[in-house]
Amino acid sequence: MIRAIKGTRDILPDEVGAWHRVEKAARELLARYGYREIRTPVFEQTQLFARGIGADTDIVAKEMYTFEDRDEERSSLTLRPEATAGIVRAVIEHHLFQTDPALKVYALGPMFRRERPQKGRYRQFHQVDVEAFGMEGPSIDVEIIQVALGYLRVCGLTESQLILNSVGDAKCRPAYVETLRRALRPVASRMCADCQRRAETNPLRVLDCKVPEDQPIIEGLPRISDHLCPECRDHFAEVKRELDLLEIPYRLDHRLVRGLDYYTRTTFEVTSGALGAQNSVLGGGRYDGLVRDLGGPELSGTGFALGLERLVMLLPAAAGEGRCDAFLAVLATGALDRALLAERDLREAGVRVMMDHDGRGLKSQMKKADKLGARFVAIMGEDELASDVWTVRDMTASTQERVSDVKLAEYLEGKVRG
Ligand code: HAM
């Protein structure tokens, strides 16, 4: 038997209702904040991600699905591991910053990372990704955080924690990274293999290490919060002030550097204890140099992405919705044509209707109607056929009425709407 690829999963019809609900909630909430949808391809040139996310990150170094195209240039292509780089490319390519007075966009769709699969971690997963461009003030960072938390709230997630940090900018971070590198030199040999490598190549990543034995060393390292330049410090102070004003609680964590290199200043994550080891439900921050680094103008950016598998996992299962409003139980041999016409008319009237296609007995058809959650069953046996009527049973009220064939659509439409 051919099975789905490791780390991918099928979203089956029984689960899809929850996905529709969270996708609808995203669209409705984002519209209220003025964000519009953008849809970019799921594959891009590899160098977009290498330059955008950073060659030393785990995502680019180990996790990308990269392949050579069959065209003459043998271009290297990659399935997108995240949405931000592709959106930035589209913003630059279509000069969206020149025409849109408030460039606020969002995207929904699959991302691909070759990570070790475990609960809440997949190789194909889905994100809601939200980005705002060209706004430098701290209040847009706060808006992005409000969108993220507001979304969790409308989806019904009550228990979560906001974690906040500032990672500085091109002015102050290089000096901090150098300080960190120097501090790591005498201690790196006592750390895990990843940290030993990162101590030289990308010292900030050391702060991300989860190996228990390394924690005491990491806690003793210099902190970015003590090395921010005055502009970054003021920016961060204002983000915190506005969060306080809006009564949004947060926990500061000077080690929140995130797994992508493009961040400047504000970074944040929202975690939920209920998720276990993969506890981050969303993450984001500001990325002021990215548009320029990818060949665009000097344009600031800030945003976040949320993992939909993790969100859906956290939500209480909603009661399954009935699959149809009405079920037509066709018992008389000559009633098929009436049923086909009735189905057509009912659907045109907006009623969700299904019928039996196998000529089963009444009992088995009633059972099927019940399983499908039908509120009404319209029966046509020999008797009804002879009088041009349907016997319509209201399954919740346990009553029944005879309704003439020509009136059936109008009758059921009225019942369903009312
Ligand atoms: P990220 O932290 O890499 O950020 O991913 C954001 C969210 O995607 C995570 O919090 C998690 O819920 C989900 N996620 C990531 N990897 C997996 C996986 N293997 N399986 C299931 N879910 C996963 C970004 O992607 C940035 N582009 C966010 C951003 C947008 N920053 C600014 N704008």
Residues 148 and 251 in one domain: yes
Do 307 and 366 belong to one domain? no
Same domain? For 397 and 355 the reply is yes
Decide if 107 is inside a domain: yes
Task: Give the other-Cβ count within 10 Å of 349's Cβ.
Answer: 17
Check whether 276 has a pLDDT greater than 90: no
- Tell me what percent of the residues of the chain surpass a pLDDT of 70: 100
Work out how many domains the chain is built from and give that number.
2
Q: Please name the amino acid found at residue 269.
A: E
Q: Give per-residue pLDDT as tens, 68-125.
A: 999 888 999 999 999 999 999 999 999 999 998 889 999 999 999 999 999 999 999 9
Residue 401: which pLDDT band, with cuts at 50, 70 and 90?
A: very high
For atom 23 of ligand 1, the residue with the nearest CA is 307
Could you tell me where the DSSP H helices lie in 156-227? 173-184, 193-201, 215-219
In a domain, 1, yes or no: no
Handedness of CA 99, 104, 109, 111 (dihedral sign): positive
**Ligand 1 pocket residue status of 281, Cβ below 6 Å:** yes
pLDDT of residue 273: 81
By residue range, what is the domain housing residue 336? 326-417
User: Are residues 384 and 339 in contact, defined by beta-carbon separation less than 8 angstroms?
Assistant: no
Looking at 314, 345, 376, which one is the last position of a domain? 314
Whole-number Å distance between alpha carbons of 142 and 393: 54
- Check: CB of residue 395 under 8 Å from CB of residue 404: no
Same-domain check for residues 138 and 166: yes
Q: What gap in Å lies between CA 408 and CA 401, rounded to an integer?
A: 11
> Is the model's pLDDT at 238 over the cut of 90?
yes
Domain at 248, CATH number: 3.30.930.10
Confidence of residue 282 (pLDDT cuts 50, 70, 90): very high
Q: How confident is the model at residue 30 (pLDDT cuts 50, 70, 90)?
A: very high
Residues 287-329 pLDDT 10s: 999 999 999 999 999 999 999 999 999 998 777 778 999 999 9
Q: Are residues 308 and 367 in the same domain?
A: no
DSSP character for 195?
A: H
Pocket test for ligand 1, best of 310, 312, 315 (most atoms within 8 A of CB): 310
- Write the CA distances from 156 to 18, 26, 242, 288, integer angstroms: 12, 12, 24, 32
Residue among 346, 337, 332 nearest 375 (CA): 346
30, 112, 265, 282: which to mutate for ligand 1, most atoms within 8 A of CB? 282
Q: Is 204 part of a structural domain of the chain?
A: no
Same structural domain, 290 and 404 = no
Q: 418 pLDDT band (50/70/90 cuts)?
A: confident
What CATH number does the domain containing 332 carry? 3.40.50.800
H/E element, 365: helix 362-371
CA dist 195 and 204 (Å) reads 10
**pLDDT band at 142; cut points 50, 70, 90:** very high
Q: Are residues 42 and 155 in the same domain?
A: yes
Evaluate: CB of 261 within 6 angstroms of ligand 1.
no
260, 284, 314: which is the final residue of a domain?
A: 314
Q: Kindly report the pTM of this predicted structure.
A: 0.93
Residues 161 and 262 grouped into a single domain = yes
Q: Are residues 309 and 373 in the same domain?
A: no
Based on the fold, state whether residues 335 and 280 are members of the same structural domain: no
Q: How far apart are the C-alpha atoms of 418 and 413, rounded to whole Å? A: 8
Question: Looking at the structure, do residues 110 and 147 belong to the same domain, yes or no?
Answer: yes
- The yes-or-no verdict on residue 29 having pLDDT over 90 is yes
For residues 241 and 232, is the Cβ–Cβ distance under 8 A? no
Q: Is the pLDDT of residue 210 over 90?
A: no
Residue 125 sits in the same domain as residue 152: yes
